[in-house]
């Protein structure tokens, strides 16, 4: 953190996940209900988020609403916690092996130079 009075380093690694409605009423772009906001209201609402804050969010996604009946539906094929845990443990193990000689052990610790080295995208990606 840098301010006029100086600079501080905190020992923390943060992943910020944030969400907001697309407009004050929450239905802009929704196919099930019409948005009742004016263009001015939407602009004013979105302007509450400052540019510097938005610049620090790396990924912005529009996520369509999920109907309540789908949220409540039973998902017979849903993966259980034990299976998910096994996948996470396997992924962490792959990362630990991949970065063994780099002195760190997770994807979250990659610096930009290492992202270029390990995360190259082919044409399909």
Instruction: Tell me which residues touch Zn ion (CB under 5 A).
Output: 23, 25, 28, 35, 37
> Closest distance between Zn ion and the C-beta of residue 90, in Å?
43
Count of alpha carbons within 13 Å of 109, Cβ hemisphere only? 11
Question: Among the residues of the chain, which ranges form H helices?
Answer: 39-47, 51-55, 68-72, 81-98, 112-118
> Closest distance between Zn ion and the C-beta of residue 96, in Å?
47
Judged by CB, which is closer to Zn ion: 26, or 110? 26
Judged by CB, which is closer to Zn ion: 7, or 40? 40
Judged by CB, which is closer to Zn ion: 44, or 92? 44
CA–CA separation, 71 vs 66, rounded Å?
7
Contact (Cβ atoms closer than 8 angstroms) between residue 95 and residue 106: yes
Contact (Cβ atoms closer than 8 angstroms) between residue 23 and residue 42: yes
Judged by CB, which is closer to Zn ion: 22, or 95? 22
> Closest distance between Zn ion and the C-beta of residue 51, in Å?
22
> Closest distance between Zn ion and the C-beta of residue 44, in Å?
12
């Amino acid at each position: 953190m840098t301010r006029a009075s100086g600079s501080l380093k905190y020992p923390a690694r943060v992943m910020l996940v944030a969400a907001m409605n697309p407009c004050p009423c929450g239905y802009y772009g929704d196919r099930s209900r019409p948005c009742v906001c004016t263009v001015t209201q939407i602009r004013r609402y979105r302007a509450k988020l400052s540019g510097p804050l938005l610049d620090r969010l790396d990924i912005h996604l529009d996520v369509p609403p999920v109907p309540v009946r789908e949220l409540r539906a039973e998902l017979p094929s849903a993966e259980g916690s034990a299976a998910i845990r096994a996948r996470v443990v396997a992924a962490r193990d792959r990362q630990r092996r991949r970065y063994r000689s780099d002195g760190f052990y997770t994807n979250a610790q990659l610096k930009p130079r290492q992202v270029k080295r390990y995360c190259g995208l082919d044409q399909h990606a």
